Amino acid sequence: MSLSFKDFANKPWLLVLLGPLLLWAGWPVHPAPAPLLLLVGLVPLLRLEQVLRTQGARTGRFWWLSYLFLLLWNVLTTYWVAYSTLVGGIAANILNAALQSLPLLAFWHTRRRLGPALGYLGFVVYWLAFEQLHLTWDLSWPWLTLGNGFAMVPGWVQWYEYTGQLGGSLWVLLANLAVFWVLFGRQEVAAPRMLGLRWKPWLAAFTTLVLPLLVSFAIDARWQEKGQAAEVVVVQPNIDPFQEKFAGGAKYIPADQQLQRLVSLTESALTPQTKLVLWPETALEETHWENQLAQQSDVQRVQRLVAAHPGLRLITGITSVSSYASKEVASPTARFRDDLGYYDVFNAALHVSSPTGPLQVYHKSKLVPGVEKVPGWLNSALGTIDLGGVVGSYGSQEQRTVFRSFSPTADSSLRVAPVICYESVYSDYVAEYVRRGATLIGIITNDGWWSDSPGYKQHLTYGRLRAIETRRDIARSANTGISGFINQRGDIVQQTGWWVPAVSRYTVHLNDELTFYTRHGELLGHAVQAVAVLLLAFVVVRRFVK
């Protein structure tokens, strides 16, 4: 028995399966990535709403089926989170799909009460407003922000320097709407007249699909690397985070031996022209009290390395601790021990710019929810559930820190944004470093937690979008995963292998110009949030005022 297109398009369960498969196949580092599929992957979801509405389905059925759609997409694309923590990975997929379903519920009610034109407008603005919220609140997990889906094809989205990643999300949503209009929506929405044209469905779809590509190609044609040149070295020590990296591991490598591996790899690549070395997240394994950094032996070893190479600076990941004099001055994330008092633990970056000069520290502040950060209101609900992280939240800081050298002979044009791991997923967060003067983005990470999965590959490719948004070169040091360099166009110009000790040297460019996106931030995100609030208010009014 054959199944016609019409029959297929009327089967809710087939639509629930088809959409996630299309989105997964189009997402970065799929074995055969086809990013164009992102521009049609939501059509089955729009058709699902249309079929259920026509059938007179209740809200609960739409929510349940759309939730399954989203859950399947989450699992197919980010199942690898469970490699780090099984319970946390399961919770992340279940919760994120539930959160993503909220803008779809708003779309369902808007479409029913306000009709097709405002309803489909709501589909776009509610989803974008949700993505903007998902970048800022305590349960933030923006890995599946639709605009991230073009990370494998930076040549398609050179206009991110104006819009950021949400511009890519807007493209995905509009393209899916246009294709849906061609296939299923012509009887619902009349062809509008704009710019003197009657916009037939096929013309709208063609324009929506092709125009962003043409704009990107035009920008790309005039692109050139900008800024003064500087030689940078990134180190990948390849220490197994499960068994070798930390005390208690089955094959624990003592901290002094880990440090020696880092030093040996570094010295094998240094030249007299090298200006900066990057070591990965938590490269220095022992805990460091911030008021005693200069007295700790591993920090002193780094200072000796810098002293042996005039003009060299080094950034490394550390775990640091800072204490507070009393409960009254302690931070909301502070912990308490009888022998230590109130204190915070930080996932931090340490900058050594001279043998004896001041040491700069930056505290990672975009923390992984459930692993590095648990919202206060959620602590009691979670109780003692182990989500694979520390007991309690890491500390953070309010402002971004840009690492500059205090040496009068140092290159003042080399100003580094210390971006730690998960922070590199956040467009405006990274742009804030650049607004504060950064001319180079330095990403330090430990992607070994995710094993040999799409996770570390996606993480690398997302950095390509940050390079376009800010027009900054990126130097990337991973404990393991992939280390290397990305230019201002978003090209990966050099990279190491997976699960191998490695060191890489490259000449980056230190651009000091600001893109439109860097100057203005998430204009698009804030605008759609305002529209979403007004549209929801209109829905509520229509609900109670006939």
Residue spans per domain, the chain: 5-56+102-223+523-544, 228-318+348-512
Query: Sign of the CA dihedral 448, 453, 458, 460?
Result: positive
Closest CA to 285 of 312, 262, 268, 313: 262
Beta bridge partners of 292: none
- Residue 488 is predicted with a pLDDT of 98
Q: What pLDDT is attached to residue 193?
A: 58
Q: What's the mean pLDDT when you consider all of the chain? A: 91
Enter the CATH code of domain 228-318+348-512: 3.60.110.10
25: left (phi over 0), alpha (psi -120 to 50) or beta: alpha
197 pLDDT exceeds 50? Answer: yes
Which phi and psi (to 5°) does residue 380 adopt?
-65, -35
Cα–Cα distances in angstroms (integers) from residue 255 to residues 259, 320, 352, 490, in the given order: 6, 15, 19, 35
Single pTM value for the model: 0.93
Say which DSSP state 401 is in: -
Least Cα distance to 512 among 412, 388, 444, 443 occurs for 412
Do residues 263 and 305 touch, judged by C-beta distance below 8 A?
yes
Q: What are phi and psi of 319, to 5 degrees?
A: -105, 120
Distance CA 101, CA 78 (A): 17
Closest by CA position to 481, among listed 506, 463, 467, 507: 463
Does the structure show a pLDDT above 90 at 300? Answer: yes
pLDDT band at 388 (very low <50, low <70, confident <90, very high): very low
The per-residue DSSP string of 448-515 comes to GGG-SSHHHHHHHHHHHHHHHHHT--EEEEESSS--EEE-TTS-EEEE--SSS-EEEEEEEEE-----
| Cβ–Cβ < 8 Å for 440, 475 | yes
Q: Reduced to 3 states, what is the DSSP secondary structure of residue 546?
A: coil
Query: String of b and e for 475-506 (b: at least 16 CB within 10 Å)?
Result: bbbbbbbbbbbbbbbbebebbbebeebbbbbb
What pLDDT digit, counting tens, does each position of 503-533 carry?
999 999 999 999 999 999 999 999 999 999 9
Question: pLDDT-derived band of residue 247, with 50, 70 and 90 as boundaries?
Answer: confident
Query: Given a cut of 80, is residue 416 above it in pLDDT?
Result: yes
Q: Which residue has the tokens 């915070």?
A: 344
H or E stretch including 163?
A: helix 160-163
